[in-house]
Structure 1
Amino acid sequence: MPADGGRDAESGKDHAVTTIRIISPVDGSVYAERPVAADSELDRAVVRARAAQADWARAPVAERVRLCLAALDALLAMNVEIVPELAWQMGRPVRYGGEKRGVEERIRYMGSIAEASLAPVVPAEIAGFRRYVKREPLGLVFVVAPWNYPYLTAVNSIFPALMAGNAVLLKHASQTLLVGERFQAAFDDAGLPAGLFSNLVLSHDQTERLIASGRVDHVAFTGSVAGGRAIERAAAGTFASLGLELGGKDPAYVRADAKLDHAIENLVDGAFYNSGQSCCGIERIYVHREVYKPFVEGFVDLARQYRVGDPLDPDVTLGPMAQARFADHVREQIAEARRKGARAEIGSAVAGDRPGSPYIGPEVLTNVDHQMSVMREESFGPVVGIMPVHDDEEAVALMNDSAYGLTASVWTRDADEAAAIGDGIETGTVFMNRCDYLDPALVWTGVKDTGRGAALSRFGFEALTRPKSYHFRLGT
């Protein structure tokens, strides 16, 4: 797998970098180019953020939420321009309309629970004492955002951080630089205090040096395992808290009692939407032997209906991967699996599908096992392996046979059985009869090499604040 896991790895030294280019996967052209911020500009941004945050932390939660919702409205108003802009930057077809729905759902929900989540916690009363715990903002939050869902992943931390009273610095992925500019314009339009949010174009070296400087209080990073380790090394000794969402190899288990047409439709979408470039996308499927054959037949038939091509064409359902090297990694996994005996159920070439090209068609592999990298190592592309199992126990053992643990889905008509199976799966989220979705009312987290920390729900606010106790003796 490429070092950045299909996302932006903040690692490596690049002192000579002065500009960053977006190379469009659509046609290989330079879509946009921006100068890297001077170190003096970065220093000014930190100073301004600290100054703005002191006043912002004293503002009522309702006022902070109001301005964040105003920024959301400004962002939504840009969607007509954002959709084709995303297609050019990272290849998602325009027919899917960008990330507007999920962005709005998450921000409005976090705004609706902000006051309750950030309210003081008052323990049982003791005569003669006043006791409570306040949630104080951490201070300066540094968000390092990925390209694959460049708005959705960023809002998970940016907006709750601001609602909680923090200042935010954003370093967006080089593949989607324009997203950071859109966020900046939205906050400026909303009238957010100057300096409270700053979008910065930074090199990897600048990113690491900022984290290591001790000038930020929390780092929210979405990217590869290698990138997460680089973040941890940079933060060592600073005592900054970290939120790390790293890799994924999310499994699905289809039980014999599953409603097959529903499972097929949703798992095909979960595997191939966004060309498989989703941290919680379906990358491996285990199916009970009793329904294995009809499931595979239906899955393959539906996968063959995808149309690969120019993402600006409204009829295209699968655009190019964000970079050619990501597509080449998928090709290598498929080739290795076939050498070891896997069967490629689709295998038909699509226009432009060749080594060195970001265009690659969907692939379904059967006759797979866990000696193949496609069943254990992150693919982050449009390929999925399907494997028969005898029972729940075998399915759980195989689902856990991975270094990652972000989500897992169980497809069954029995919620009690799904819960019992979920208790045995090493994962951050257990789904039943759905997949590849973030519910903002539930915490977004992972285990093992997927990382650590929490986003969304009240737990997301807790991760972006610190508790402060008040213990008063009265009447003395």
Structure 2
Amino acid sequence: MKPIQLISPVDGQVYAERMPLTHEAAKAAVAAAKAAQKGWAARPLAERIALVKAGVAKLNEMKDVVVEEIAWQMGRPTRFGGEFGGVNARTEYMSEIAAATLAPQMVEDSDKFRRYIARDPVGVVFIVAPWNYPYLTTINTLVPALIAGNTVILKHASQTMLVGERLAEAFHAAGVPADVFQNVVLDHATTEALIAARSFGFVNFTGSVAGGQAMERAAAGTFTPLGLELGGKDPGYVRADANLDAAVDTLMDGAMYNAGQCCCGIERIYVHESLYDAFVEKAVAWVKALKLGNPFDADSTLGPMANKRFAKVVRDQIAEAVAKGAKALIDPALFPADDGGAYLAPQVLVNVDHSMRVMMEESFGPVVGIMKVKDDAEALRLMNDSPYGLTASIWTQDYDTAAKLGEQVETGTVFMNRADYLDPALCWTGCKDTGRGGSLSYLGFHSVTRPKSYHLKKV
């Protein structure tokens, strides 16, 4: 068995390496989690909530180390300070709604019958977390799973495997028992074998479509519930009545932040013909103001992509689009840090169409294509012409218009005048090849619990 290596995009060197668990050791971890679950679920809800919140508080105490490690592991500039705002807000909201969401729903409580629906924990929850927002994506499932009385086994992406260690360190220091929350390093074969052996009550996976397909194949016939957040190609639509400056600022930030490595990042933009030229001009100026560089430099607003092979995908998409007639509006020479590897200059493309991979396949990098549209009907057709459906960003001045258009967009979340944001009170979900299931909101608790009906009769 070979060690799993974490290659830093900052300098291309091995930043960390860990040996994956053997199959027997992995089975022992699952057995320990199963043995600990009943006792954890028997603790009062308020106690579980307090321990989870204390774990997040301990994580906050590690902020300086965490921010530095994120930069080394996946390249995000340290100036952005990690993911603590979202981690704290999501933890607080899910904690606030836990009692009401998990409380039995009474149908009848009389001298003849007591009928109600309770929610039971599913047992052991397995989280397979991604590298792009390594703390936030874990917290989305970890917090409700533990609060609801499940035990959790976390397998983090190899690109950010130190994140799992920090989370376990924080939660254990706060008093969450070691067997209740375990961080493990696994290879693909062991991961799939555990799922196939019906080791878990719920599996949450965030990653590629191919990865989601592998999860489904591993779970085939086990009836294990899966939560899958897979690819995305999220559109923005700028209507004629949009606030142009706000649209440019938010959509371009949504396209470029985190080097474009956002699940719900903006990857394609459709602009009404009356605003198209002005939008493109302002978008180009916005991108030219970015600074690509070492993530530890205070003035870097764009760091390297997490791996040079991810950057190659984007470069290939751009080159193919240009060969098919697209026009690249950003001269890479403006970004001398572009080294042909993980450091990649941002790009804005026009003269694009849906025959090009850059408009149809996930890019997950700092590139966006912009197309002119004549009306809502054309924009809707193009937004829906995608195998993915995570979010859509509509720019207009009217709630009703945004809602009416949103009803016709095949997506999980409809935004009006914002993008690339998760509201913990709203379900995070997708459709088509983006996957299935949902996290956050009260529905996030439903994912990690199962309904159990009680029909009690007096005689």
Question: TM-score normalized by structure 1?
Answer: 0.95
Output the amino acid matched with 2:336: A
Q: Report the counterpart of residue 78 of structure 1 in structure 2.
A: 62
Output the amino acid matched with 2:112: G
**Mapped pair 1:41 → 2:25:** yes
Q: Give me the whole-angstrom Cα distance separating, in 2, the residues matched to 1:347 and 1:451.
A: 36
Q: Give me the whole-angstrom Cα distance separating, in 1, the residues matched to 2:247 and 2:225.
A: 39
Q: Give me the whole-angstrom Cα distance separating, in 2, the residues matched to 1:247 and 1:225.
A: 6
> Of 76, 100, 121, which residue of structure 1 is paired with 2:105?
121
Structure 1 residue 63, shift from structure 2 partner = 1.0
Q: Report the counterpart of residue 6 of structure 2 in structure 1.
A: 22
Q: Give me the whole-angstrom Cα distance separating, in 2, the residues matched to 1:126 and 1:340.
A: 72
**Mapped pair 1:262 → 2:215:** no
> Of 315, 325, 339, which residue of structure 1 is paired with 2:309?
325
Q: Is the 8 A contact 2:108 2:116 kept in 1?
A: no
**Mapped pair 1:67 → 2:32:** no
Q: Report the counterpart of residue 167 of structure 1 in structure 2.
A: 151
The DSSP-based 3-state class of the residue aligned with 2:275 is helix
Output the amino acid matched with 1:367: N
| Structure 1 residues not aligned, in runs of 5+ | 1-16
Q: Report the counterpart of residue 433 of structure 1 in structure 2.
A: 417
Structure 1 residue 351, shift from structure 2 partner = 2.7
Structure 1 residue 76, shift from structure 2 partner = 0.7
Structure 1 residue 152, shift from structure 2 partner = 0.5
Q: Is the 8 A contact 1:135 1:468 kept in 2?
A: yes
**Mapped pair 1:157 → 2:141:** yes
Q: Report the counterpart of residue 174 of structure 2 in structure 1.
A: 190
Q: Report the counterpart of residue 130 of structure 2 in structure 1.
A: 146
Output one character per residue of 1:170-222: Cα deviation in whole Å (capped at 9) or x when no partner. 00000001000001101111111230010001111111111111111110000
Q: Is the 8 A contact 2:349 2:367 kept in 1?
A: yes
Q: Is the 8 A contact 2:5 2:158 kept in 1?
A: yes
Q: Report the counterpart of residue 7 of structure 1 in structure 2.
A: none
Structure 1 residue 354, shift from structure 2 partner = 4.6
**Mapped pair 1:379 → 2:366:** no
Aligned residues: 458
**Mapped pair 1:466 → 2:442:** no
Q: Report the counterpart of residue 53 of structure 1 in structure 2.
A: 37
Output the amino acid matched with 2:259: S
**Mapped pair 1:353 → 2:338:** yes
Q: Report the counterpart of residue 5 of structure 1 in structure 2.
A: none
> Of 299, 306, 314, which residue of structure 2 is paired with 1:315?
299
Q: Is the 8 A contact 1:74 1:190 kept in 2?
A: yes
Question: TM-score normalized by structure 2?
Answer: 0.98
Q: Is the 8 A contact 1:52 1:194 kept in 2?
A: no
Q: Report the counterpart of residue 110 of structure 1 in structure 2.
A: 94
Structure 1 residue 125, shift from structure 2 partner = 5.6
The DSSP-based 3-state class of the residue aligned with 1:410 is strand
Q: Is the 8 A contact 2:107 2:114 kept in 1?
A: no
Output one character per residue of 1:370-421: Cα deviation in whole Å (capped at 9) or x when no partner. 1111111100000000001010111011000000000001011111100000
Q: Report the counterpart of residue 403 of structure 1 in structure 2.
A: 387
Q: Give me the whole-angstrom Cα distance separating, in 1, the residues matched to 2:156 and 2:172.
A: 17
Q: Is the 8 A contact 1:250 1:284 kept in 2?
A: yes
Q: Is the 8 A contact 2:233 2:268 kept in 1?
A: yes
Structure 1 residue 128, shift from structure 2 partner = 1.6
> Of 218, 226, 249, which residue of structure 1 is paired with 2:202?
218
Structure 1 runs, 4 residues or longer, greater than 6 Å off:
none
RMSD: 1.0
Q: Give me the whole-angstrom Cα distance separating, in 2, the residues matched to 1:181 and 1:44.
A: 19
Structure 1 residue 62, shift from structure 2 partner = 1.1
Output the amino acid matched with 2:67: V
The DSSP-based 3-state class of the residue aligned with 2:394 is strand
The DSSP-based 3-state class of the residue aligned with 2:429 is coil
Q: Report the counterpart of residue 3 of structure 1 in structure 2.
A: none
Output one character per residue of 1:338-376: Cα deviation in whole Å (capped at 9) or x when no partner. 111111111223334254x00111100011111111111
Q: Is the 8 A contact 2:427 2:443 kept in 1?
A: yes
Q: Give me the whole-angstrom Cα distance separating, in 1, the residues matched to 2:12 and 2:109.
A: 66
The DSSP-based 3-state class of the residue aligned with 1:319 is coil
Identity of matched residues, %: 60
**Mapped pair 1:98 → 2:53:** no
Q: Give me the whole-angstrom Cα distance separating, in 2, the residues matched to 1:414 and 1:468.
A: 43
**Mapped pair 1:230 → 2:230:** no
Q: Is the 8 A contact 2:127 2:205 kept in 1?
A: yes
The DSSP-based 3-state class of the residue aligned with 1:22 is strand
Q: Give me the whole-angstrom Cα distance separating, in 2, the residues matched to 1:54 and 1:182.
A: 25
When residues 326 and 53 of structure 1 are mapped into structure 2, their CA distance, relative to the original with a 3 A threshold, is same
**Mapped pair 1:292 → 2:276:** yes
Q: Report the counterpart of residue 4 of structure 1 in structure 2.
A: none
Q: Give me the whole-angstrom Cα distance separating, in 2, the residues matched to 1:132 and 1:323.
A: 51
Structure 1 residue 124, shift from structure 2 partner = 5.1
The DSSP-based 3-state class of the residue aligned with 1:123 is strand
Q: Give me the whole-angstrom Cα distance separating, in 1, the residues matched to 2:178 and 2:155.
A: 18
The DSSP-based 3-state class of the residue aligned with 2:137 is helix
The DSSP-based 3-state class of the residue aligned with 2:274 is helix
Q: Give me the whole-angstrom Cα distance separating, in 2, the residues matched to 1:171 and 1:337.
A: 36
Output one character per residue of 1:122-151: Cα deviation in whole Å (capped at 9) or x when no partner. 125666211001000000000000000000
The DSSP-based 3-state class of the residue aligned with 1:57 is helix
